[in-house]
Structure 1
Amino acid sequence: MRPLIAYTFRRSLSGRVMETAFLALSRGIAHPALSRAIGLLSLCVLAAALVVLVPQLAEQLTKPAGIAQRTGTFTSPIDVPAWGNIAIGVATLAAGAERALRLRLSHLLDSA
């Protein structure tokens, strides 16, 4: 099987087609379904972390006496053990890094 770049270079006289093929290879879009699945998974992890960690953060921010007197206290409906918070944090870091790298290599941003 020939590499995609060599095939595109020989077949097209247009630089745009060659550039598109190079960008597709450099982004790992040789497997677009896998790429979409990883992107969807990272988006789901970030959304789940937002749903779990924001109420816990709100609870911690309303605990101090001065704030509790003015606004009242908030009790998070989600109680996650420490190891769960660590696992969510690590998964969020990985998903965030994946989304940041995907955004950095976006053809919408590269073509501008």
Structure 2
Amino acid sequence: MFQQWRRRRAVRRIEPGDGRLVQRFRWWQLLGRSLFHLDIADAAGYSVKYTVDARQWKTDENGYMKVFLYRNGLQHAVSRAPAVFPVEGGTIEVAASSFGLKRCHFVSNSGAERQLHPDAHSAEGRRAHLDERRPQLSRLIGVVSTVALLVGVGLLLQQIAVPILRIPPIAEQIGPVEPLINLPLWLSISLGLVAALASTERALRMRYRWWLDAAGN
């Protein structure tokens, strides 16, 4: 019920596009633009190409990322993330995190889902190409990203827990509490940067988990 309400609300946010042509992906847009494609058939059986264009620096007045939907190369609709665009046979759903997209899927009327395929020139497309050509290296990078974020989660939990355990009524019951790990400032900053890189890498594969990737925020 709640999911259906959210979907209806997202659909109401849709605005018509202005009909402009989709722009080619440029190399300098690697860190701030996501471009995904979907080929489906319309009611008459003709092929229709949809393109989702999301740019992190393009936001609305409330700071939400704007998502542009193109139909056969022409801007068809605009919404803010999370976005739900009705298309032939279902909807295209787009959701964003602080490091990119965490969801860009076609959901059919029967409930089946499939991820849109990334543009070959985008960062997501290059990451997918690496996964196809060098699967072992790709898995190693994925494991390193996960471990880096797990370390970040542990440090974040410590930062939250220690002040709570030092509250006088609690401290009187359990005694003085000291952090298990005291990191110098330079190392804390370095780990924060590593966690941000790890979250970015996972965003390129849309492997978002709130309890894990939040450590990179």
TM-score, length-scaled by structure 2: 0.32
Residue deviations 1:66-103 (CA, integer Å, cap 9, x gap): xx123226421101011111011000000011112212
How many aligned positions are there? 78
Instruction: Kindly indicate whether residue 168 of structure 2 is the aligned counterpart of residue 69 of structure 1.
Output: yes
Q: Of residues 172, 185, 192 in structure 2, which corresponds to 1:89?
A: 192
1:70–1:52 Cα change, 3 Å: same
Superposition map of 1:26-41 within 5 A: 26=125, 27-28=128-129, 29-41=132-144
What is the aligned partner in structure 1 of residue 15 from structure 2? Answer: none
Structure 1 segments unaligned to the other structure (5+ residues): 1-21, 105-112
The residue aligned with 1:101 is: 204
Which position in structure 2 is the counterpart of 1:48? 151
Distance in 2 (CA, whole Å) between partners of 1:57 and 1:82 is: 18
User: Which of structures 1 and 2 has the larger relative contact order (alpha carbons within 8 angstroms, sep 6+)?
Assistant: 1
| Alignment deviations for residues 13-43 of structure 1 (CA, whole Å, 9 cap, x no partner) | xxxxxxxxx77x7312221111111101101
Q: Which structure: greater helix fraction?
A: 1
Runs of 4+ in 1 over 3 A off after TM superposition: 60-63
* Residue identity in the other structure for 2:169: R
1:8 paired residue number? none
Larger displacement relative to structure 2 (30-39 or 70-79): 70-79
What is aligned with 2:26?
A: none
* Structure 1 Cα separation of the partners of residues 179 and 144 of structure 2: 26
Name the one with the larger strand percent.
2
Q: What is the alpha-carbon distance in structure 2 between the residues aligned to residue 49 and residue 96 of structure 1?
A: 11
Alpha carbons of structure 1 residues 83 and 50: separation in structure 2 relative to 1, 3 Å: same
- Cα deviation, residue 56, structure 1: 2.9
Q: Does 1:79 align with 2:182?
A: yes
Please give the TM-score of this superposition, normalised by the length of structure 1.
Answer: 0.57
